[in-house]
Amino acid sequence: MANRRRQANERKGRLAEHIAAIWLMAKGYRLIGRRLKTPGGEIDLLLRRRDSLVFVEVKARPTLDMGVAALHRAQARRCQAAARWLAVRHGWPGAVLRHDAVVITPWALPRHMIAIWREEA
């Protein structure tokens, strides 16, 4: 039973990431990668827009409030560490690193939240 639930959540997450990627590309972003694994964590989507590398966390929740509540501080630290690792590893000097989120809810357009976390020193 738990395995089926995990598989259903995995499918739901992949669908949400696909919807978010399409939504952002329609807004002029260029997709660089999906589900990028790093020693510090995973980045759901990596996109580029002008001189910015945009690291996107995707949340699929029943309500927007639940999606926003799922974007907690510990997750911010993991995403920031993963973003720095990817930027150094792939040699994107001078690129502005930005952390966005997209919340996917039933029967609503995706909600794109820009610059939800600031880089920690």
* Architecture category of domain 2-117 in CATH: 3-Layer(aba) Sandwich (3.40)
β strands within the chain, DSSP E:
30-38, 41-49, 52-60, 96-104, 111-117
Contact by Cβ (8 Å): 41, 55: no
Could you tell me the pTM of the whole model? 0.88
Identify the pLDDT of residue 119. Answer: 61
In terms of C-beta density within 10 A (0-12 exposed, 13-18 middle, 19 or more buried), how is residue 19 classed?
Answer: middle
In terms of C-beta density within 10 A (0-12 exposed, 13-18 middle, 19 or more buried), how is residue 3 classed?
Answer: exposed
Structure tokens at 68: 């926003």
Query: d(Cα 34, Cα 66) in Å, to the nearest integer?
Result: 23
Instruction: Report the DSSP pairing between strands 111-117 and 52-60.
Output: unpaired
Per residue in 11-53, pLDDT (tens digit) is 888 999 999 999 999 999 999 999 988 887 889 999 998 888 8
Q: How confident is the model at residue 121 (pLDDT cuts 50, 70, 90)?
A: very low
Per residue in 50-70, pLDDT (tens digit) is 888 899 999 999 998 888 888
